[in-house]
Amino acid sequence: MIKKFIEVCLRNRFIVITVFAFLILASIWAVKETPVDAIPDIGEMQIIVFADWPGRSPKDIENQVIYPLTTQLMGTPKMKVVRSFSGFSMGMVNVIFKEGTDYYWARTRVLERMDVAKRLLPAEASVYMAPDATALGQIFWYTVENGYYCPKHPQKAYEKPGKCPIDREELIPSQYDLGGLRSIQDWYVRYQLTSAYGVAEVASVGGYVKQYQIDVDPNKMLAHNVKLNEVIMAVRRSNIDVGAKVFEEGGMQFVVRGVGFIKTVEDIESIVVGAKEGVPVYIRNIGAVTIGSDFRIGALDKEGKEVTGGVVLMRIGENPLRVTERVKAKISELLNFA
């Protein structure tokens, strides 16, 4: 048998060489394209659903949110088991599917069941699905730190001090605090990195999330006969743009709009919360408005110094090496934009 095989190969040398060359090319392609992960995900295929209900105890979360959500998700096709967890102000449901189930097909089925379950949940509770990534999808961590820039060319950023390569002037360090760096991360860097192919989500870590804060004075509220719920409703109603119809004049139509979105501290201070003897009572009359930071329960540390940064989550089934290269390319674009 072996002798016969060798004889056929010798008589058909061109075919043997062609097949051999094809195997070499296929091997090179496989080495380049085969996903290589330092920690491969060998866990079961599962879809995670999160539930938020601020200020509620684990028992309330379990009875009024997680239980009705779990019972509705148990009817999902190809479902294997449903597990849940309840904590303070939040809960989580893991829907595990049978092996071989398509991941995005399963997400669609869970989303359908979630729409049915939402009518059974409290109005204040929010339910949403986790991104299409696994717990082992954290492929890239980065930090957003102060750099250096040239006074005449501020659009160019530099990582180290020195002289500007354009006009040889001394570089000036930027002076962003942790709140400013977090704003840059949340409103600019994160969206740029999310656009890289294969990225499921970019989560922000560290820093301070800026927010408007109203510190009311109980004595002033009592003097002006203003209740706390009236302040909350007044701010909520004021932070919105309204629109009306149009009116015609001189053969043209003019759109009637009311601009009311809050943009500055002064906008909040000028909100009317009531009236006393025909005189309007403003927010500034009953308290102080400042820009502060949201409550946080964690921080990001780099070499003993607190910093702001983020973590890139890879979409399930992607090649970690290729996704990391695309993320690094996006970072290079951010550092060298002009």
pLDDT tens per residue, range 232-249: 998 888 888 787 788 888
Q: What is the CATH number of domain 218-285?
A: 3.30.2090.10
Q: Which residue has the tokens 């000028």?
A: 270
Query: Domain residues of the chain, as ranges?
Result: 2-33, 46-129, 138-209+296-335, 218-285
What does the alpha-carbon distance between residue 186 and residue 141 come to, in Å, rounded to a whole number?
15
What does the alpha-carbon distance between residue 212 and residue 289 come to, in Å, rounded to a whole number?
7
Tokens standing for residue 41: 């995900």
Q: Which pLDDT does position 252 carry in this prediction?
A: 86
Mean pLDDT of 83-106: 90
Q: Which fold has domain 138-209+296-335?
A: Alpha-Beta Plaits (3.30.70)
- % residues pLDDT > 90 (the chain): 26
What does the alpha-carbon distance between residue 15 and residue 10 come to, in Å, rounded to a whole number?
10
Q: Which residues contact 93 (CB under 8 A, 6 or more apart)?
A: 48, 49, 51, 66, 69, 70, 73, 82, 83, 84, 85
Spelled out in words, what is the top-level CATH class assigned to the domain 46-129? alpha beta
pLDDT category at 167 given cuts 50, 70, 90 is: low
- Using one digit for the tens of pLDDT, what is the confidence trace for 222-281? 888 889 898 999 888 888 878 778 888 888 888 888 888 888 888 889 888 988 888 899
- Among 66, 81, 85, smallest CA distance to 127 is for 66
What's at 113, amino acid-wise? R
Q: What is the CB neighbour count within 10 angstroms for residue 274?
A: 18
**E-state strands within 138-232:** 138-144, 148-150, 153-158, 172-173, 199-206, 210-216
Q: Do 46-129 and 218-285 fold alike per CATH?
A: no
**E-state strands within the chain:** 46-52, 79-87, 90-97, 126-129, 138-144, 148-150, 153-158, 172-173, 199-206, 210-216, 242-249, 252-258, 272-276, 279-282, 287-293, 300-302, 305-314
